[in-house]
Structure 1
Amino acid sequence: MADTQPPAEGSGEPQQPSKNALKKAQKEAEKAAKKAAAKERELAERMKKEASDAADVSAESYGELPLTGSKGFKKTGTPRVSLSDIDEYVDKEITFRCWVENARVQSAKLAFLNLRQAYNTIQAVVAASDKLSKQMVKFAGNVSTESLLVVTGEVKRVQEPIKSATIKDYELHIVKLFIEKKADVLPLQVSDAERAIPNEGLGEDVQKEGEGEGQPIVGLNTRLNNRTIDLRAKINLAIFDIKMGVQTLFLEFLSKEKFRLINTPKILGAASEGGANVFELKYFDRKAYLAQSPQFYKQMLIAARFQRVMEIGSVFRAENSNTARHLTEFIGLDLEMEFQEDYHEVMDVLENLMLFIFKELNTRYKKETDLVRSVYHVDEFKLPESGKVPRIEFTEGIKMLREVGEELNDFDDLSTPQEKLLGKLVLEKYGSDFYTLDQFPLAIRPAYTMPSPANANLSNSYDMFMRGQEICSGAQRIHDADLLSEMMRKHDPPVDPNGPGTKDYVDSFRYGCPPHGGGGFGLERIVQFWLGLPNIRMTSLFPRDPQRVVP
């Protein structure tokens, strides 16, 4: 206790520090020493980095660019090229925009990247040298997948074909690499979207990741929920190039046949064609409806002396059909024409139109078709000769199905499985994946369909099929107002010819209208069945069905 008791006042002896005070002072000294050492290390690292940066010969040749159009962005004016023209630039330096399929650091002095533009991919090499730093190699090899780049490099021929790229005879030796827009971590790998979706009817939980040759299987819902990533896949680019091609060929053929391109309303004041399969919407202070088809307007234009009309436009069907071939919004390829004496003149045009589209897809879009079919393996679409499209009367189709054990009445509508079966039978008998079924039962066709003169139970109507599935419905239309009114009243369910959505339509035939017919194709179905895709949603950029209205 004596060493802790303070000395007496006025004793003149110096005060000794306590043990606690000594320990505290020692800790403070150690802390200060550590802090000083950390500062010394930080200063050394900074000096080392500054020295390293000063030695980076590529410091101005790589990095992340300011946002295009921002204050810090500066135009270079450097011409950009397309990888599709790569043959023109062998041993030359080129600059182009691309995105990264993958990037990897091979060593401190070497990195490889796979760069893509549309369908084209090229292997790029970043190799350290006197003119290219290790820092640039490291930067390039760690660029995130799907980041957008602007690169400059020299095109070099390779001795062995490059298997990992579509451009197999050349590689790019990079001299400049800038990130134009960095990609965050992806919710879906684009490489996953290049593979086939799970089989139709299997839920996403049935096939798990890791199945199918050790590669992840991503279901359609996941892909559609991340559609902008999914659409980056080359296979999807091919699908929509083919879809564009069908529309282009449709217009090309019919333009030569003197059809006029029209655009009909998609907002209607009444559900003109009847039925419950119509979308209702609020239109200012009253109800309106989305068009189920351009049918009435096509016919009214024939009455207006337009003679031949065609349209490509959206069609809306409020059908609660959650199948692999139904959408609530799809693109219709529609046409209507007057004919001279027989409605089969219309069928001739329709069949020749489709043969033209099929043959041109086989030539103009062969590369895209082959790409998709390499993933979704399907037999080549078998075509008949021009003028020899199989035309089978409905009664004959019923007979063919009965002969293989199907039970159905003379005037029953065909189910989807029966349509597919009939398609197989037609292929076996006629060697064609495309055919027409003619003279449908009147009771299962719209009220404006012309009855058949041969049989009161049949009609002058037809459907067209690809691989046993319907792509087109058409008919001769009634062009007499009185007969049309009569057939509307007799229809099941009845349609009022004087109703708000039908009166103008019916009246248009009171002033002299020529005989006419036409048809409406489902664009997405044509693409689906041509390519053998398992689900129609794959042919719509942002599909709409009873369960999906986003994205």
Structure 2
Amino acid sequence: MASKDLCVNEVHAPNFHSNGSVINGHTTKDQSRDARVHSCPVSGPEGIVTILLRHKGQFFKALLEPDAVDDSSLDEAKSLTVESLVRVTGSFANGTGLTNTTNDDIAVSVVTCHVKKLAVLSQAKPGPLHNLSLHGAPNEAVPPSHSRGALFEKRLDNRLLDARVASTAAIFKLFSGVHELAVDFLRKRDFYHVPTPALVNYEFPGEEDDLFSVPYFDRTARLAPTGEIHLGMALSADLERVYDCHTVFRREPASDGRHLTEFTMLEMVFNLKNDWTEILDLADNLLVSIIQSLQQLEKYITLTNTAHRLYPGAGTFQLGLDQNGKLFRVTFKEAKAILRNSLGLKSNDQDDFTREEEAALGRFLASSDTHLGKPTDVFILTHFPRHLRACNIYIAEEDETTTQSFDVILRGQECITGCRLLHSYQELHKAFTTRSHPIDPDSPEWRPYMEAHEIGMPPWGGFGLGINRLVQGFWGLTDIRETVLFPRDAARLIP
């Protein structure tokens, strides 16, 4: 990019702060910055070399003037390749604000650096894939929103370069923030972290195709699809309130933007004092706490603003709460009636919600057309029918055809599933042996779980939160693989 291209469409540029170097446009003492080379160096009049650099979404116009830098720095600058990592030392001052050539007409501020020394930290190999045209640099055309989906497989194939885009990196930082907020929430409520094994020996009959089997010495092990079994056993050891945030594995055959074969679950179980609504309330409070923190804390607001340039759904999430600060709750049967009566869909009470039905409910409750409360992008479905839930879930007291279970639907797809689980050994034994695909409670793989109930299991329950789904829904990401730096689905094992 020629140096003349760096002085168009002048607008107000925000103040650049870094270690107190520049405030209100005033240059201070020399400082050093590490940055990536965004475009090839350009030699201009009087031997001045101009380089466009970037760091975390901030752009730097580095000027190397022959009478201000040593010869070695000037020579190094002229041979720089795109994506090389350099350290520049000099005086920094706010430059112009430039408008990049996107449909969004976004102003980009450029900081000017009068370089006194330049050191190459790492020289990048030249390559055509280095520039994915998503950084939003001045005078750089960013593909419009409707055509970015076609770039996604290319981005995944070049994931490390893609992650250098500030909007992409913001997703992974938000993911980390959700983990941080959730763990802090649980710590304040006396939960203890209990790591659960990734290798297990049990399986659920009739569901073998959902699990990955792997050789384990002289026998076969499976990759854990949940930590619930071992977390439950921890309650039998009187730990009372436990959680794990871990990788789980499912044999999801579809590469549909909604499923991963390897994803992150936050799972927690705890002793119940009264009834199953304690589980509902904890899930409600946790999710509201996380979302409000993401919407109100400055560091997450900054991430949202960074992401919005490529992901227009970022910052639009609606958290509609009732007068008690709770999420909207609707029973399974009531939700089915909404689908039929308010949305005109044919939906049977005996069938689980389809993907389309979940999405339709989500759109309705998020719209101004809803008559059920404030528009919201997240709500709770309760009292799922017995035949749609696991055999070891408590039956609802008010309706024996339903269960003490729930799902949280966030932007049209489930992100939390929870329930109260049987704690009586006799009831669990009967549930296992009478399910459609019976479990042998005396088999070696199930004996530890059964023994946990034999020796006295407290009344208990809990839920699992899919962090990938939460991040995807909160920012309205199209593909769940965008939430993972190194995603794994049915079609992808690289990078």
Distance 1:533-1:106 versus aligned 2 partners, 3 A rule? same
Distance between the aligned counterparts of 1:83 and 1:143, measured in 2?
Answer: 25
1:360 alignment partner in structure 2: 293
**Counterpart check, 1:144 vs 2:81:** yes
Among 175, 178, 192, which residue is 1:243 paired with?
A: 175
Query: What secondary structure sits across from 2:485 in the alignment?
Result: coil
Check 1:102–1:217 CA distance in 2 against 1; reply closer, same or farther (3 A cut): farther
Query: 1:392 aligns to what?
Result: 330
What is the SS of the residue equivalent to 1:219?
helix
Asked if 1 retains the 8 angstrom alpha-carbon contact of 2:134 and 2:142, the reply is no
Question: Matches of 1:178 and 1:210 in 2, distance apart?
Answer: 30
Q: RMSD value over aligned CA atoms?
A: 2.7
SS in structure 2 of the partner of residue 319 of structure 1: coil
Aligned counterpart, 1:417:
356
Matched, 1:307 2:251: no
Tell whether the 8 Å contact from 1:436 to 1:463 is kept in structure 2 after alignment: yes
Residues 532/86 of structure 1: CA separation in 2 closer, same or farther (3 Å cut): farther
Structure 1 segments, 4+ long, off by >6 Å, are 164-167, 213-217
Q: Is the radius of gyration larger for structure 1 or structure 2?
A: 1
Counterpart in the other structure of 2:116 = 175
Q: Is the 8 A contact 2:73 2:117 kept in 1?
A: no
Contact 1:111–1:138, Cα closer than 8 Å, also in 2: no
Matched, 1:110 2:12: no
Code of the residue aligned with 1:188 in structure 2: it is L
Name the amino acid aligned to 1:380: T
Partner Cα distance (1:213, 1:224) in 2: 17
CA contact (8 A) 1:103 1:140 kept: no
User: Paired residue for 2:346, among 383, 407, 413?
Assistant: 407
Residue of structure 2 in register with 1:49 after alignment:
none
Q: Any gaps of 5 or more consecutive residues in structure 2?
A: 1-16, 101-105
Cα pair distance change 1:459/1:215, threshold 3 Å:
closer
Deviation at residue 481 of structure 1 after TM alignment: 1.1
Check whether the contact 2:201–2:221 (CA below 8 A) recurs between aligned residues: yes
Kindly state the Cα deviation for residue 369 of structure 1 after the two structures are TM-superposed: 1.3
Within a 5 Å distance, the mapping from 1:525-536 to structure 2 comes to 525-536=469-480
Supply the AA of the counterpart residue of 1:436. I
Contact 1:193 1:223 in 2 (8 A): no
Please state if 1:275 is matched with 2:213.
no
Aligned to 1:405, the other structure's residue is in SS state: coil
Q: Deviations over 1:379-432 (max 9, x none)?
A: 711113353211111010010011122222212100101001011222233211
Aligned length: 455
Do structure 1's residue 426 and structure 2's residue 362 form an aligned pair? Answer: no
> Deviation string for 1:25-48 (max 9, x for gaps)?
xxxxxxxxxxxxxxxxxxxxxxxx
Query: Pairwise mapping of residues 17-416 of structure 1 onto structure 2 (< 5 A)?
Result: 83=18, 85-87=20-22, 90-108=27-45, 109-129=47-67, 131-132=68-69, 137=74, 139-158=76-95, 160-161=96-97, 168=109, 170-194=111-135, 212=144, 219-271=151-203, 275-276=207-208, 277-364=210-297, 365-378=300-313, 380-385=316-321, 387-403=325-341, 404-416=343-355
TM-score for the superposition, normalised by structure 2: 0.85
User: Which of residues 443, 447, 450 in structure 2 aligns to 1:506?
Assistant: 450
Equivalent-residue separation in structure 1 for 2:361 and 2:276 (angstroms):
24
Mean Cα displacement is larger for which, 117-126 or 443-452?
A: 117-126
Q: Secondary structure at the match of 2:38?
A: strand
Letter in 1 for 2:334: E
Kindly tell me: are residues 85 and 330 of structure 1, through their superposed partners in 2, closer, same or farther at Cα, counting changes over 3 Å?
farther
Q: CA shift at 1:127, angstroms?
A: 2.3
Q: What does the per-residue CA deviation read over 1:476-517, in whole Å, with 9 as the maximum and x for residues that have no partner?
A: 001111111211222233222223322221221122222111
The answer on whether the counterparts of 1:272 and 1:501 sit within 8 Å (CA) in structure 2 is: no
Distance 1:210 1:234, change over 3 A: closer
Cα-to-partner distance string for 1:140-197 (whole Å, 9 max, x where unaligned): 2552111011221122354x446679984742100111222111123523443448xx
C-alpha contact 1:211 1:217 (8 A) present in aligned 2: no
Q: Which moves more between the two structures, 486-495 or 319-328?
A: 486-495
Instruction: Give the match for residue 440 of structure 1.
Output: 384
Q: Deviations over 1:512-543 (max 9, x none)?
A: 22211110111111111111111001111111
SS at structure 1 position matched to 2:269: strand
Normalised by the length of structure 1, the TM-score is 0.77
Aligned CA distance change for structure 1 residues 549 and 141 (closer, same or farther; 3 Å): same
Structure 1 pair 241–211 and aligned structure 2 pair: CA distance change class (3 A): closer
Q: Matched residues in 2 for 1:439 and 1:213: separation?
A: 39
Equivalent position of 1:517 in the other structure: 461
Q: Are the structure 2 counterparts of residues 215 and 315 from structure 1 closer, same or farther at C-alpha, using a change threshold of 3 Å? A: closer
Matched, 1:496 2:440: yes
Q: Which has the higher contact order (CA 8 A, sep 6+)?
A: 2
Distance 1:194 1:156, change over 3 A: closer
